[in-house]
Amino acid sequence: MDADDRLLQECKSQIEKKIGWENSESWTNHDFQTLSDKIQEETGVNLSIATLKRIWGKVRYDSKPTITTLNTLAKFLGLESWREFKQQQGSTVTHASREETVKDPIVPVAPRPMRGKLIRSGLIGTALCSAIVLFVLYGFKGGDSAEPKSYKFSSKKVVSEGVPNSVIFDYDASQAESDSIYIQQSWDARLRTLVSKDKHQHTSIYYTPGFFQAKLVVDNEIVREHNLMITSKGWMALVKQEGPVPVYFKDDDFRKGEMLSLSAETLRAKNIPFQPELPVVSFYNVKDFGDIHTDNFIFEARVRNDYQEGSGACQFSQILLLTEGNVIVIPLSVKGCVSDIGLYFNAKGVDGKTADLSAFGCDLSQWVTVKTEVKNQKGQIYINGNLAYESPWNSSEKIVGMIFRFQGAGSIDHVRLATADDEHVFEDSF
């Protein structure tokens, strides 16, 4: 192993420590999608899961990573560039023994839902990563924070609805004794940008809708914070690719009669590749749905996965309900693939590797009816009229969005969200 390989190995090791996951030998397709989302959130650069799997040795690839890729990995570790990473390591990695490196054997990885998104454009697999990737989608509320009157922090969207959307943060931290002033986009402390205490504005671009909680941080203390919702301006469809900007689709591309649908043919017409990784089609609707909270609601939808070729045999799909503080993730797949799905319900993750989620396995080539209902402190999920999961319920957060995700291609032909007594109703048959 040459010096460059040892440096890359050390970089991967530091990334694994940063995200706190188990050894990368057990990572799935979903985990790489989650990592891709995390890297983009922190650096603004989208490294595809194909690129990350090549770097981690899951896919055989003889070429070295590009300098753009290396710079992005270094930035994810909080450095300016790959050159700075090399300088920081000095001779430590160069002289590392073979035994000190982590093996990355080339093994087949079953395609599995992302992180996300919450995330952001993949499909959730393990329950833990379900939570992580969806935290990236929008910020969970933090604990108590000091709010000295000397600090000011607010934001305004450049456009009232839709994405891309630039957000202008106005702040005043001039009274701070330290130069350690950060604007943090969400709950995740790693998503911070250092700003000058002598200046008063910072801007960010949001490429996907969601619910965020922005924070002004001084010396690692949150001194101001506020909610920030980026709405979708009705239904929108997108596919994530390399780079920060997704491929957005016009209404005519996905509004097909009385359903929303993006076919493989439509994706190919946009030059979206299906190899080495399948694209993930995402439909968003983030808005004010009225006074609908998670302790008293009914959600119903009919969905279908329209791609079953090659590595799309599992037809992984997912429905996410976004709230002002949490998320509900309902996974779907063909019956034979339920081991690789993950549920997130009532702030609790359930992993198909360690729990029986077979009720979420179904024939997704046909229309599948999904219903979620919470009332009288009990939450239930039904698949095609059959109870798939239930648990006690103890939270109440306003529902502010829904996301439908399909590996390969997918369709929706009806959505209904309402309070249990039908006092507030959102219904769409397109």
Residue 180 lies in a domain: yes
Is the pLDDT at 10 greater than 70, yes or no?
yes
* Proportion of the chain above pLDDT 90, given as a percent: 55
Residues 263 and 398 in one domain: yes
C-alpha 169/C-alpha 199 separation (Å) is 11
Contact in structure between 151 and 173 (CB atoms under 8 Å):
yes
Average confidence (pLDDT) over 393-413: 95
Contact in structure between 227 and 213 (CB atoms under 8 Å):
yes
- Paired tokens of 99: 């035994």
Average confidence (pLDDT) over 293-318: 96
Q: What is the pTM of this model?
A: 0.69
Residues 36 and 91 in one domain: yes
Outline where DSSP puts E strands in 333-367.
342-345, 348-351
20 phi-psi bin (left φ>0, alpha ψ -120 to 50, beta other): left
For residue 189, the model assigns a pLDDT of 66
Residue 72: count other Cβ atoms within 10 Å of its Cβ: 22
Is the pLDDT at 205 greater than 70, yes or no?
yes
Residues 88 and 58 in one domain: yes
Tens of pLDDT, residues 140-184 = 444 443 445 689 999 999 999 999 999 999 999 998 888 889 998
Residues 259 and 393 in one domain: yes
- At 78, which amino acid appears? G
Residue 310 domain boundaries: 232-422
Outline where DSSP puts E strands in 275-398.
280-286, 297-305, 317-323, 327-332, 342-345, 348-351, 368-375, 378-383, 386-392
Residue 286: count other Cβ atoms within 10 Å of its Cβ: 25
At residue 299 the predicted structure's pLDDT band, cuts being 50, 70 and 90, is very high
Contact in structure between 311 and 337 (CB atoms under 8 Å):
no
Q: How far is CA 416 from CA 28, 160, 234, 336, 396, in A?
A: 33, 25, 14, 29, 19
Residues 257 and 272 in one domain: yes
Average confidence (pLDDT) over 381-403: 96
Length of the chain: 430
Owner of token pair 């919450």 = 118
Tens of pLDDT, residues 244-270 = 799 999 999 999 999 999 999 999 999
C-alpha 294/C-alpha 321 separation (Å) is 10
Residues 266 and 389 in one domain: yes
Residues 204 and 284 in one domain: no
Supply the CATH number for residue 274's domain.
2.60.120.200
Contact in structure between 315 and 410 (CB atoms under 8 Å):
no
- Paired tokens of 332: 């779907």
Residue 205 lies in a domain: yes
Supply the CATH number for residue 176's domain.
2.60.40.10
Owner of token pair 């799997």 = 53
Domain count, the chain: 3
Q: Name the helix (H) or strand (E) containing 221.
A: strand 221-230
The count of C-alpha atoms lying within 13 angstroms of the C-alpha of 276, restricted to the half-sphere facing its C-beta, is: 15
Residue that wins the pLDDT comparison between 28 and 240: 240
Report the chain's terminal Cα–Cα distance, integer Å: 57
**Domain boundary pick from 63, 83, 100:** 100
Is the pLDDT at 390 greater than 60, yes or no?
yes
Residues 209 and 254 in one domain: no
Who's near 177: CB < 8 A, 6+ residues apart? none
Average confidence (pLDDT) over 351-369: 96
For residue 304, the model assigns a pLDDT of 98
- Paired tokens of 256: 């097909």
At residue 61 the predicted structure's pLDDT band, cuts being 50, 70 and 90, is low
Residues 226 and 237 in one domain: no
C-alpha 243/C-alpha 68 separation (Å) is 11
Contact in structure between 395 and 278 (CB atoms under 8 Å):
no
